[in-house]
């Protein structure tokens, strides 16, 4: 099972805990890889600005290279994990829950912000001027948090709103309107399909079911996904199943048959063959190699 982490779960190993409020955290301290290098979902929003180093981030089966002056924007529930993070990696980061933001009476729907939508681009690069503006806002917020005073939460929410406006302006520049071509429509369909798979893979495995959710024919879905991704819809669904299986094999001691049953395979032998076909090793071998 891909775990859902609360804000407290995510930062419990970080020393800089004085920079935490109920539902809000800001820091430039690096989150240990033991926490973020395994697939997980979060119950909070995350905004990171990379100061130095590099890493690779996967979000809902999309892959990104993260480097200096990259901004990372991840809403709750998105399956994500970090890979190959350099030893000198450092980023300014803000984590906050929707509850913290709404306590100020805001009418903004966070999930409706273009950069927090499920299909949004999670990582993009910013220029030196934008980097200076955004890091300045981060540093002001961090200073406010280290000097507690009355009204501090409202001030932090105000600066979050300023940050959202700045990011939205930058995001518009990367979201260049695409021509209405079969390829552009196909890429949009691919993003929608991957989002549905991440939400429904435990209960829906058939291409026709996803086609119905997308109000298109199974043939159109199959042909389009294959054309723009090089993979069939079934292969993408299988990737998500294998990802969840790998998480449970690494992070739990559940017997193989229980994992198979959770993933919808009543026959653990069949599950073992399926797992080995896609990973080239049995579930038992994978678990032993990843302890």
Return the pLDDT at 83: 87
> Tens-digit pLDDT profile for the chain (291 aa)?
778 888 887 776 555 545 567 889 888 877 766 677 888 888 899 999 999 999 999 887 788 999 999 999 999 888 888 888 998 999 999 999 999 998 877 778 888 898 998 778 899 999 999 999 999 999 999 888 877 677 888 999 999 999 999 999 999 888 654 455 566 778 888 888 988 898 889 899 999 999 999 999 999 999 999 998 899 999 999 999 998 998 888 878 889 999 999 999 989 999 999 999 999 999 999 998 877
4-174 maps to CATH 2.60.200.20 = no
CA of 125: how far to CAs of 23, 61, 93, 141, 274, in Å? Answer: 27, 20, 15, 22, 39
238-255 per-position pLDDT tens digit: 999 998 998 888 878 889
What's the maximum distance between 2 C-alpha atoms anywhere in the chain?
61
| pTM for this predicted structure | 0.73
CA of 265: how far to CAs of 39, 111, 204, 232, 252, in Å? Answer: 21, 34, 13, 21, 18
Q: Give the CATH number of domain 182-289.
A: 1.10.10.60
Taking the CA of residue 8 as centre, how many other CA atoms within 13 Å lie in the half-sphere pointing to its CB? 1
Return the pLDDT at 150: 76
Residue 248's SS3 state is helix
Domain residue spans of the chain: 4-174, 182-289
Total residues found in the chain within this entry: 291
């Amino acid at each position: 099972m891909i775990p859902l982490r609360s804000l407290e779960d995510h930062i419990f190993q970080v020393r800089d805990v004085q920079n935490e409020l109920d539902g809000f955290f800001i820091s430039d301290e690096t989150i240990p890889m033991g926490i973020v290098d395994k697939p997980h979902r979060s119950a909070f929003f995350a905004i990171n600005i990379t100061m130095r180093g590099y890493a690779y981030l996967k979000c809902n089966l999309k892959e990104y290279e993260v480097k200096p002056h990259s901004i990372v924007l991840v809403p709750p529930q998105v399956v994500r994990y970090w890979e190959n993070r350099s030893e000198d990696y450092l980023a300014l980061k803000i984590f906050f829950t929707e509850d913290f933001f709404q306590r100020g009476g805001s009418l903004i729907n966070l999930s409706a912000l273009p950069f927090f939508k499920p299909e949004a681009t999670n990582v993009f690069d910013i220029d030196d001027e934008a980097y200076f503006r955004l890091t300045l806002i981060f540093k002001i917020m961090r200073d406010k948090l280290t000097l507690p005073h009355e009204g501090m939460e409202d001030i932090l929410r105000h600066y979050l709103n300023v940050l959202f406006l700045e990011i939205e302006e930058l995001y518009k520049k990367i979201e260049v309107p695409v021509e209405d071509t079969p390829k552009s429509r196909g890429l949009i369909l691919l993003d929608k399909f991957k989002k549905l798979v991440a939400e429904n893979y435990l209960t829906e495995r058939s291409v026709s079911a996803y086609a119905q959710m997308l109000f298109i024919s199974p043939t159109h879905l199959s042909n389009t996904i294959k054309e723009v991704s090089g993979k069939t819809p079934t292969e993408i669904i299988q990737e998500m199943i294998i990802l969840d299986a790998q998480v449970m094999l690494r992070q739990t001691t559940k017997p193989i048959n229980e994992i198979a049953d959770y993933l919808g395979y009543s026959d653990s032998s069949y599950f073992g063959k399926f797992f080995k076909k896609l990973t080239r090793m049995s579930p038992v071998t994978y678990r032993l190699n990843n302890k």
